Structure 1
Amino acid sequence: MPEEDLVDIKFRLYDGSDIGPFRYSSASTIEMLKERIVSEWPKGKTVIPKVANEIKLINFGKILENNKTVGQCRAPFGELTGGVMVMHVVVQPSQAKTKAEKKIEESKKFVCSCCIM
């Protein structure tokens, strides 16, 4: 693989800490990057993604689509040679899970302990 075809990327988390940098091919998809983020997620964080679909990557103010490649997401203007691309990570837990958790919490709220004599 030619050296110019490789891109160094680090991922900036919500608290300002970083994952990486890692070296990727320009042909790597955003979905592949998300899977790597899930597997490399630091221990002890309050927000933890369980699957890649819970992650959104933002680069140059745009949310990146899973089917795009790293090469398609590069800066449209002059990048520094040998620089590291920074992508911001946003974690959004899936809505279906949140609704299920709400149902459980609501069912616990309405517990009756009346006694009629």
Structure 2
Amino acid sequence: MPEDDLVELKFRLYDGTDIGPIRYSAASTVAMLKERILSEWPRDEKITPKGASDLRLISGGRILENHKTITQCQMPFGELPGGAMTMHVVVQPSVTSAKTEKRVKEQPRKASCSCCIL
């Protein structure tokens, strides 16, 4: 693999710790990065993702889409020469699991009627 085709990335977690820097092919997709982050996730963290779908990668203020490559996600002005590009990682549970958990926590409502005659 040519040296020019490699991009050095590090991933900043919510608590300020980093995963990386690690060199990736410029053709790697965001979905591939998420899988790698999940495998490298620190086990002693309070917040841990259940799967790659729970992770959001943010670079340059934009949430990156799974099908995009690293080349497509790079900012036009780039990073400092010789430095690693930093992406922020946010753990956000998928919407379906959050709705299911909310339903379980809610108490069933009792049918009641209240009238007020003045």
- TM bucket normalised to smaller: 0.7 to 0.9
CA distance in 1, matches of 2:44, 2:5: 35
Identity %: 61
Q: Deviations over 1:54-110 (max 9, x none)?
A: 1111101111111111111122115333210000001111122122222332359x9
Determine the C-alpha separation between the residues in 2 that align with 1:94 and 1:79: 31
In structure 1, give the amino acid aligned to 2:83. Answer: G
Aligned-partner residue type, residue 53 of structure 1? S
Helix, strand or coil at the partner of 2:11: strand
User: Equivalent residue for 1:7?
Assistant: 7
Deviations 1:11-43 (A, max 9, x none): 001111111111100000000001111111101
Q: Distance in 1 between matches of 2:107 and 2:78?
A: 56
The alignment status of 1:16 with 2:16, answered yes or no, reads yes
- The one-letter code sitting in structure 1 at the alignment partner of 2:95 is Q
Aligned-pair Cα RMSD in Å = 1.7
Give the match's secondary structure for 1:42.
coil
The normalised TM-score by structure 1 is 0.84
Q: Give the whole-Å Cα distance in 2 for the aligned partners of 1:106 and 1:82.
A: 52
Q: What's 2:37 paired with?
A: 37
One-letter amino acid matched to 1:19: I
In structure 1, the residue corresponding to 2:106 is in which secondary structure?
helix
Aligned to 1:61: 61
Amino acid at match of 1:50: K
Give the Cα separation in 1 of the matches to 2:34 and 2:49.
10
Alignment of 1:1-117 (within 5 A): 1-107=1-107
Question: Which segments of 5 or more consecutive residues in structure 1 lack a partner in the other structure?
Answer: 111-117
Q: What SS does the corresponding residue of 1:103 show, helix, strand or coil?
A: helix
| One-letter amino acid of the structure 2 residue matched with residue 67 of structure 1 | H
Residues 64 and 106 (structure 1), Cα distance of their counterparts in 2 relative to 1, 3 Å cut: same
TM-score (norm 2): 0.84
Q: Which residue of 2 aligns with 1:113?
A: none
